[in-house]
Structure 1
Amino acid sequence: DVYDDLSIVKGRHTIKIGMGVERHRLNNSSEAQYADTTLTYASPQDFVNNVLSDYFFVGKLTLGGHRRTYFMPYVQDTFKVRPNLTLYYGLRYEYYTVLKEVYGRQAVVTIACGGFCPKGTPLYGPTYRNFGPRLGLAWIPGGAGGHTVLRAGFGMYYEPNQMDDFSDGHESTGQRVDVSSADVPGLTWPVTPSQLTAPFYSPKAWDPSRHDGYFEDWDFSLQRMFPHGFLGKIAYQGSEGHHLFSAVRFNRINRLTGTRPIPTFGEFNQKGNNGNSNFHSLQVSMERPLTSGWLWGTQYMWAHGLSDNGFGAGEYPHIENYSCIKCSYSSTDIDIRQTLSVNTVYELPFGPGKRFLTSGGVAGKLLGGWELSGIGSASTGRPIDILVDVSPSDRPDGVTRNQRPDLVPGVPIYPANRTINHWFDETFLPDGTPVSPFAVPAVGTWGNVGRNFGRGPGYYEIDTALEELMALTERLNVKFRAEGFNLFNHPIYGDPASDISDPASFGVITNQLNTNPTGLGSSRKIQFMLRLEF
């Protein structure tokens, strides 16, 4: 990559002009370099009876040589209108060339071509409209010596998609077969040629009419200095995303005709930029800087994010009905509504410069320089997508994918007292028969439960640390630190099982939020550190 920037200061203006050029090369494939087979069963019972829901095979692929170039010029100005008012404005343009494979080993698949397009057909068309304006201000009401600062800003930001997302054109040249029970009723393993009554080629495809994705971000904040050094802040942040990376199952069966748009091909993924998102948040904080040996801060955020697809969902789409993408517009996979964080640092009042044992000596060295700190955090639960295993032949579009169930009227979703063994509710009839709040949809219909309909458990965690810095000489220090993560060993649970097709596990939580040895959500960890500094 090559970047060059020029800054010009003229009066109250600071102008910056620049250009960035990036050359991207990817010499690999997101597929394995060896043959692979995947068998899918709709339920444990189908597995026992050897009734396949889907059979997928991909042959050996060669390495691809993918190339792409980004051009990104910009201009911006910082204008000091008054001592207490500054404006920021600018414009950035981004152009990403269409990805190509160096040896032309790239196949394009469209309905218009009836399958594979002629060699040399571009994977998609370029986008020339990626203009990203920037606008912001900082204002101190009452003059430069005021205690209140108001800030606001707006910007548009574009994304080129990651390189390996575009390797599909090359990967379509390998042998790929995808057969579902919607095409071959009674599909069993091993799959024999006699079961394949028609070609079921399953390439990878890109939407030829895709556009580069972009976000519109805006924010507004009010910051105020209070007596005794306290600093308060209230802020609003919003964002909208359009043409975001997504994927749909393509070449689906037309239920009226019983055929696929490309009859010689099976069902396959088509990547594109059809996704949309929306985010709003309220952020409130109060902080006290380190004064008299004590620092303290509290941050609270209410947030809500919406989207019609999951994060990283280009490979694994979360959309249920591909004829109605907006029907999946709901809470994002990481839509955590409320978070609270409190942090503090306290310097023990012993040793030189402190309240006690100021004369130093052995006691001053041993008891001086100690610092106690802690962080407490709490959060509400994450969304849960309620699913049901359905055979492709029972879905309205014949797609090989789980769908969402129906909601049973009058049955509560959650019990009065939720436990890790009973997160979702069951109502019992007079004869003791349990009734679930969710039901399997009728054959050929969509479930009416929305995406990410449920909510998992929230959590809280307290971490703390105790450390001392002891000066042995002017140039030699010893530092000791003890840390405790999840100090009270409070269990932080993961999400419950969300597939109603397995009643024994549905609504049961079997894991912690974090199953790794370290990090937020793991069990209590205590560690010690001793370091010599010179």
Structure 2
Amino acid sequence: TGSFYTQPTNFKLGTVRQYNLNVEQALPGNLVLTMGYAGSRGNHILVAGNDLNTSSPSACGTVPGYTLGCLPGGQPYIPPYNTFDTILLFGDVGDTSYDSLQIKAETKTAKHGLYALIAYSWSHTLDNGLSDGLGSLLSAPYFPLPNWRRLDWALSQINLYHSFTASTIYDLPFGRGKRWGSDWNNVTNALLGGYQVTLIERISSGFPDPLIDSNNQSGSFFQNGGNGNNYNRPNRIGGCDVYAANHGQHQYINSSCFEAPPVGQLGNSDRVPVTGPGFVNTDFSIIKQFPLPREMGLNFRAEFFNLFNHAQFGMPVNDISAAGFGAVNSTVNNPRLVQFALKLTF
């Protein structure tokens, strides 16, 4: 007769505890090395979409040739509150865990016109389910265990195991007041002096990816009232490498490692059995300063985003029932972008 939204009368406010410890050491050559640990724990996090009107795991006549206790028309077992469609609980049952190792090396000052930074982090993030599409609220409507969230405690869909960043800013040593060209005339200095280059390199591993069986070929699921999320997880075949050999755009996941579970059973695959493609990006810019009289200045810059035009592949098709399961059909970054700017200061 309709959908309702509710929350516990003894609702507890979410809490997040954060802590970190860093050790910093000066090194020869104008360098500073920082190593540290950062972590957090979250409890009673708001969870949206936990449906209270779900039946126990049920097997329906959705599998050709089978009739496993279903009601006429292939309808699932009657939910606990059969006069309602969906009863969504905004609960305080979400939990999160984050641990990371962080290493950074950088120059203390821009010695000889050069500043550089290199940073690396390893992180491990766990939770009991993010919504499909990496939403802002903890929720797991995409998975068939809405009332058994403990079983969804797993690697978070926003986890990045590895992240590396390197950046540098370098004032080229040419022109008046620099190492070479201090005696250049105005024309030569205007053409060859006053240049600065910057480079930013970012490399990271991919995001974890959940797998589903939308056709629900086993006929088993946790019925989610009227919201239609009757998905099942696939079975994962042991001893099989989930990544396709030389995996790339055409076939990223080894589809032979997953299959529909037997009739009447939920799939045994964990929540996020694969990790999507990693990320690589290079940005570069060159800046030219033109000194002008009366404390005026002219600044020209050319900026190159995604310098090498590297394609960043999106997530592979994650539905074992879909055509092209395991293939990557999209990119998530922009192609090379070049822009120019001219700025006058006075």
Is TM more than 0.5 here? yes
> Partner of 1:473 in structure 2?
293
Q: Give a deviation string over 1:430-483, Cα, whole Å, max 9, x none.
A: xxxxxx211112343221111111111112111100001111113221100000
Show the 5 A alignment for 1:12-161.
none
Q: Does 1:363 align with 2:192?
A: no
Using the alignment, how far apart are the partners of 1:442 and 1:205 within structure 2? Answer: 36
SS of alignment partner, residue 290 of structure 1: coil
Q: Which amino acid aligns with 1:286?
A: A
Q: Give a deviation string over 1:19-61, Cα, whole Å, max 9, x none.
A: xxxxxxxxxxxxxxxxxxxxxxxxxxxxxxxxxxxxxxxxxxx
Q: Give a deviation string over 1:331-382, Cα, whole Å, max 9, x none.
A: 1111110011111111111222201221352212332211011011111111
Contact persistence 1:406–1:439 (CA under 8 A): yes
Show the 5 A alignment for 1:240-259.
240-247=41-48, 248-254=50-56, 258-259=77-78
> Partner of 1:389 in structure 2?
214
Show the 5 A alignment for 1:87-236.
200-236=1-37
Q: Does 1:346 align with 2:165?
A: no
Q: Give a deviation string over 1:260-285, Cα, whole Å, max 9, x none.
A: 33332123321111110100000001
Provide the TM-score with structure 1 as the length reference.
0.57
> Partner of 1:141 in structure 2?
none
SS of alignment partner, residue 151 of structure 2: helix
Q: CA deviation at 1:225?
A: 1.5
Q: Which amino acid aligns with 1:349?
A: P
Using the alignment, how far apart are the partners of 1:452 and 1:411 within structure 2? Answer: 16
Using the alignment, how far apart are the partners of 1:372 and 1:243 within structure 2? Answer: 48
Using the alignment, how far apart are the partners of 1:364 and 1:261 within structure 2? Answer: 82
Q: Which amino acid aligns with 1:263?
A: N
Contact persistence 1:308–1:319 (CA under 8 A): no
> Partner of 2:260 in structure 1?
440
Q: Give a deviation string over 1:383-413, Cα, whole Å, max 9, x none.
A: 0101111459933432232221111234331
Using the alignment, how far apart are the partners of 1:377 and 1:339 within structure 2? Answer: 8
Contact persistence 1:246–1:317 (CA under 8 A): no
Q: CA deviation at 1:316?
A: 5.8
Using the alignment, how far apart are the partners of 2:9 and 2:302 within structure 1? Answer: 57
Q: Give a deviation string over 1:130-151, Cα, whole Å, max 9, x none.
A: xxxxxxxxxxxxxxxxxxxxxx
Q: Does the C-alpha gap of structure 1 residues 390 and 203 become closer, same or farther in structure 2, counting only changes over 3 Å?
A: farther
Moved more, 391-400 or 405-414: 391-400
SS of alignment partner, residue 246 of structure 2: coil
Using the alignment, how far apart are the partners of 1:409 and 1:227 within structure 2? Answer: 51
Q: Does 1:379 align with 2:208?
A: no
Q: Does the C-alpha gap of structure 1 residues 226 and 393 become closer, same or farther in structure 2, counting only changes over 3 Å?
A: closer
Q: CA deviation at 1:209?
A: 3.1
Q: CA deviation at 1:531?
A: 1.2
Using the alignment, how far apart are the partners of 2:56 and 2:82 within structure 1? Answer: 11
Q: Does the C-alpha gap of structure 1 residues 313 and 442 become closer, same or farther in structure 2, counting only changes over 3 Å?
A: farther
Using the alignment, how far apart are the partners of 2:51 and 2:28 within structure 1? Answer: 60
Contact persistence 1:320–1:328 (CA under 8 A): no
Contact persistence 1:271–1:314 (CA under 8 A): no
Query: Which of the numbers 502, 510, 534 marks the counterpart of 2:329?
Result: 510
* Structure 2 spans left out of the alignment, 5+ residues: 59-68, 70-76
**What is the number of equivalent residue pairs in this alignment?**
318
Q: CA deviation at 1:205?
A: 2.0
Using the alignment, how far apart are the partners of 2:154 and 2:138 within structure 1? Answer: 17
> Partner of 2:72 in structure 1?
none
> Partner of 2:251 in structure 1?
422
Q: Give a deviation string over 1:119-176, Cα, whole Å, max 9, x none.
A: xxxxxxxxxxxxxxxxxxxxxxxxxxxxxxxxxxxxxxxxxxxxxxxxxxxxxxxxxx
Using the alignment, how far apart are the partners of 1:331 and 1:487 within structure 2? Answer: 33
Greater relative contact order (Cα < 8 A, sep 6+): 2
Q: Which amino acid aligns with 2:324?
A: S
Using the alignment, how far apart are the partners of 1:212 and 1:344 within structure 2? Answer: 43
Using the alignment, how far apart are the partners of 1:315 and 1:446 within structure 2? Answer: 20
Q: Does the C-alpha gap of structure 1 residues 322 and 316 become closer, same or farther in structure 2, counting only changes over 3 Å?
A: closer
Q: CA deviation at 1:315?
A: 6.5
Provide the TM-score with structure 2 as the length reference.
0.86
> Partner of 1:161 in structure 2?
none
Using the alignment, how far apart are the partners of 1:506 and 1:483 within structure 2? Answer: 38
Moved more, 358-367 or 523-532: 358-367
> Partner of 2:240 in structure 1?
411
Q: Does the C-alpha gap of structure 1 residues 315 and 215 become closer, same or farther in structure 2, counting only changes over 3 Å?
A: closer
Q: Which amino acid aligns with 1:530?
A: L
Percent of residue pairs identical: 28
Contact persistence 1:384–1:453 (CA under 8 A): yes
Q: CA deviation at 1:210?
A: 2.3
SS of alignment partner, residue 513 of structure 1: coil
Using the alignment, how far apart are the partners of 1:330 and 1:255 within structure 2? Answer: 21
Contact persistence 1:246–1:309 (CA under 8 A): no
> Partner of 1:284 in structure 2?
103
> Which is greater in Rg?
1
> Partner of 1:96 in structure 2?
none
Query: Which of the numbers 468, 473, 488 marks the counterpart of 2:308?
Result: 488
Contact persistence 2:250–2:327 (CA under 8 A): yes
Using the alignment, how far apart are the partners of 1:204 and 1:270 within structure 2? Answer: 6
> Partner of 2:337 in structure 1?
525
Using the alignment, how far apart are the partners of 1:321 and 1:353 within structure 2? Answer: 68
